[in-house]
Structure 1
Amino acid sequence: MKGPALLLAGILFFSLLDANSKLLSGHYAVGQVIALRFAVLVPLFLVARALRPGFGGPLGTRRPGLHALRVAAMMVSAASFFLGFRHLPLAEGYLVFFTAPLITLALSALVLKEAVPRAAWLWCLLGFAGVVLAVAPRLGGGGGPLAGYLAVMTGTLAFSVTQTVNRRLRAEPGLVGVVLWPGLVGLLVFGPLALRDWVPPPPADLLRLGLNGLLAGGAVVLAAAAYRHADAARLGPYGFAALPVSVALDIALWDVWPDPATLAGGAVVVFACLMSERARRTAAAPLAVPPRREPAAALRRIPEG
């Protein structure tokens, strides 16, 4: 159970990161919040590497193009989720995010040329129908909710690209490509935005802005460790633990309770994702070949001793 336990801890860190960012989003711009996250995360990583030489894996890579694509997708994902959760309760944002396995499945077929069974596609359609079921009642007025859904969907697409690239780079283990290089690029991208929109934070807010770096680093390390102890097929269902965690944070921090449409849509999305993954694994599993039985006469000819 070490793999699932590590993943659940990582999910808790990710959920706390999103909740803390949502609390900060009413006072600070996206550049300042994300730049300070990386300003904490990168030095922590470098200190860990100095104390333990080689920590995080090698600095070089033979596939810089894929790493650049992953870093770009991570930048889009970070900014999009921050902007989306500014307008949405956490549970509603996570409901849209739960379509990531379905989008990743489509990308694996289109980009990686992997065979996807027809049943998996049908479950994908059902999963997106669940999202429509949950968000449709709120789209009539447009405004903030619509912008929030579009931002979270953009972040989900970018996250799915990241996951697809991770599969291509699975032969290159280590945290350098998912912590150090994205952190340095994040400082270059969001640093100027932070300077442009800088709001001097009081000490309490400065601590919370720095806490984002600790939460982001802890979440990445825990998730990476989880996948070293268990495969994706086993860990996949545990990812949906983020939904009850996000509901609990919505209630505790903002006194926002999920409505029936969100609960119904969430149930449909989770069920569709689980069934889609099951259909994919079933199609990929080799047919069981029963062991060949030797004729009784042949067994009698085997010498004893």
Structure 2
Amino acid sequence: MLAGIMLFSVNDANSKLLSGHYGLGEVLFLRYVMLLSAFLLARGIRPGFGGPLATRHPALQALRTCSMMVSAAGFFLGFRYIPLAEGYLFFFTAPLLTLIFASLMLGEKVAPAAWGWCLLGFGGVLLAVAPKLGGGAGGPWQGYAAVTVATIAFALNQTLNRKLRVEPGLVGVILWPSLLGLPLFGGLLGLAGWETPPAFDLFRMLANGLLAGGAVVCTAAAYRHADAAQLGPWGFAALPLSVALDIAIWGHHPDLAMLLGGVVVVFACLMSERARRQGLAQSMPGGKTWAPSAPSGSGVTARTAESGRLP
């Protein structure tokens, strides 16, 4: 799990470095070139790798793929303007948004306490970014807007994963997004402002595909040995890691508001998940507890082979 989190964080840092020199279409196009190539190579070496190609839910698979595209593009654009840690703070609200989507789309009953923790979590984000937006610092609102859209798209993706549990495997989260991403980001988005990169930059763009694919495989392996409740808290290791990368690469130190907001968001997410699970346990006959086979919340832990956030 920690290896997967580290790979995702390095991927995001690499994307942030690239975003200052290259356009969205070019970077994501080359990422999906490598990701698709690696997947096809693995499937060639090990036939059947990633699961069956057929699907009984093409519309849901298409919607999930589109939500992944929006999420990937939003985080790439957002990290162009804001530090990694601030982007991750927004991302950690995805489990809270997932509760809303699950209630609206899946008809799930959410404990009142969970809604209260959701409000507290969003308050933590406001605590972290309000000084930058309302004060004299002139906060990068474009970055906040981009990661907000990306986080909403990811939460939608999480909800769709719940509906598509009957079709596990990597095909839906690597193959289909790659096949859509190639023409989407390699078309008008890629051609507009395409800049031929030097060899090292080309290597870094292609490496993003391996980093993202490796992270998905690592987190998928983690869920073969432990359930979401056990792995959930480990996902928040991405926040201090992102702070360390911000300091080491860009010399950006988090301010007090950011640190306090991060504590509030992480605490609210953990308590919201606890309240949700307690509510589900009470609703089961005989008071039996209910443990999901796949994550329904808990931040970065949701970046599994079933969630498919490829940042």
Whether the TM-score (by the shorter chain) exceeds 0.5 is yes
Give the equivalent residue in structure 1 for 2:223: 227
- Cα 1:248–1:104, aligned 2, differ >3 Å: closer, same or farther? same
Which is worse superposed, 36-45 or 132-141?
132-141
- Amino acid of the structure 1 residue aligned with 2:209: G
> Is residue 2:104 matched to residue 1:114?
no
> Is residue 2:150 matched to residue 1:155?
yes
2:214 aligned to 218, 222, 227, which one? 218
**SS in structure 2 at match of 1:217:** helix
In the TM superposition, residue 229 of structure 1 has moved relative to its aligned partner by: 2.2
What are the residue-to-residue correspondences of 1:21-60 with 2, within 5 Å? 21-60=15-54
Give the equivalent residue in structure 2 for 1:276: 272
In the TM superposition, residue 228 of structure 1 has moved relative to its aligned partner by: 2.4
Give the whole-Å Cα distance in 1 for the aligned partners of 2:269 and 2:38.
Answer: 36
Give the whole-Å Cα distance in 2 for the aligned partners of 1:10 and 1:109.
Answer: 29
What is the CA deviation profile of residues 161-190 of structure 1, one whole-angstrom value per residue up to 9, with x for unaligned ones?
Answer: 111111111111110000011001000110
Give the whole-Å Cα distance in 2 for the aligned partners of 1:11 and 1:132.
Answer: 25
- Amino acid of the structure 1 residue aligned with 2:72: A
Give the whole-Å Cα distance in 2 for the aligned partners of 1:227 and 1:143.
Answer: 42
In the TM superposition, residue 288 of structure 1 has moved relative to its aligned partner by: 5.3
- Cα 1:142–1:162, aligned 2, differ >3 Å: closer, same or farther? farther
What are the residue-to-residue correspondences of 1:95-114 with 2, within 5 Å? 95-114=89-108
Unaligned runs of 5+ in 2: 289-311
In the TM superposition, residue 284 of structure 1 has moved relative to its aligned partner by: 1.4
Give the whole-Å Cα distance in 2 for the aligned partners of 1:148 and 1:20.
Answer: 17
What is the CA deviation profile of residues 199-244 of structure 1, one whole-angstrom value per residue up to 9, with x for unaligned ones?
Answer: 0111111111111011111111122222222222222211111100
> Is residue 2:78 matched to residue 1:84?
yes
Give the whole-Å Cα distance in 2 for the aligned partners of 1:16 and 1:82.
Answer: 13
TM-score (norm 2): 0.88
Give the equivalent residue in structure 2 for 1:61: 55
Unaligned runs of 5+ in 1: 1-6, 290-305
Which is worse superposed, 45-54 or 140-149?
140-149
Give the whole-Å Cα distance in 2 for the aligned partners of 1:266 and 1:139.
Answer: 17
**SS in structure 1 at match of 2:233:** helix
Give the equivalent residue in structure 1 for 2:196: 200
Which is worse superposed, 234-243 or 55-64?
234-243
- Among the aligned pairs, what percent are the same residue? 66
Give the equivalent residue in structure 1 for 2:162: 167
Aligned length: 283
- Amino acid of the structure 2 residue aligned with 1:199: E
Which is worse superposed, 196-205 or 32-41?
196-205
Give the equivalent residue in structure 2 for 1:260: 256
Give the whole-Å Cα distance in 1 for the aligned partners of 2:11 and 2:4.
Answer: 10
Give the whole-Å Cα distance in 1 for the aligned partners of 2:101 and 2:38.
Answer: 34
In the TM superposition, residue 142 of structure 1 has moved relative to its aligned partner by: 8.5
Give the whole-Å Cα distance in 2 for the aligned partners of 1:154 and 1:90.
Answer: 16
Give the equivalent residue in structure 1 for 2:238: 242
In the TM superposition, residue 130 of structure 1 has moved relative to its aligned partner by: 0.4
- Whether the 8 Å contact between 1:130 and 1:268 is mirrored in structure 2 is yes
Give the whole-Å Cα distance in 2 for the aligned partners of 1:180 and 1:111.
Answer: 26
- Whether the 8 Å contact between 2:132 and 2:139 is mirrored in structure 1 is no
What is the CA deviation profile of residues 3-29 of structure 1, one whole-angstrom value per residue up to 9, with x for unaligned ones?
Answer: xxxx22111111111100000011000
Which is worse superposed, 192-201 or 137-146?
137-146
Give the equivalent residue in structure 1 for 2:185: 190
Give the whole-Å Cα distance in 1 for the aligned partners of 2:80 and 2:48.
Answer: 38
**SS in structure 1 at match of 2:55:** coil
In the TM superposition, residue 196 of structure 1 has moved relative to its aligned partner by: 2.5
Question: Looking at CA atoms only, which structure, 1 or 2, has the larger radius of gyration?
Answer: 1
Q: Which runs of 4+ in 1 moved over 6 A?
A: none
- Whether the 8 Å contact between 1:119 and 1:276 is mirrored in structure 2 is yes
> Is residue 2:4 matched to residue 1:10?
yes
> Is residue 2:124 matched to residue 1:130?
yes
TM-score (norm 1): 0.90
What is the CA deviation profile of residues 226-266 of structure 1, one whole-angstrom value per residue up to 9, with x for unaligned ones?
Answer: 22222222222111111001001001101111100000000
Give the whole-Å Cα distance in 1 for the aligned partners of 2:4 and 2:99.
Answer: 23
**SS in structure 2 at match of 1:229:** coil
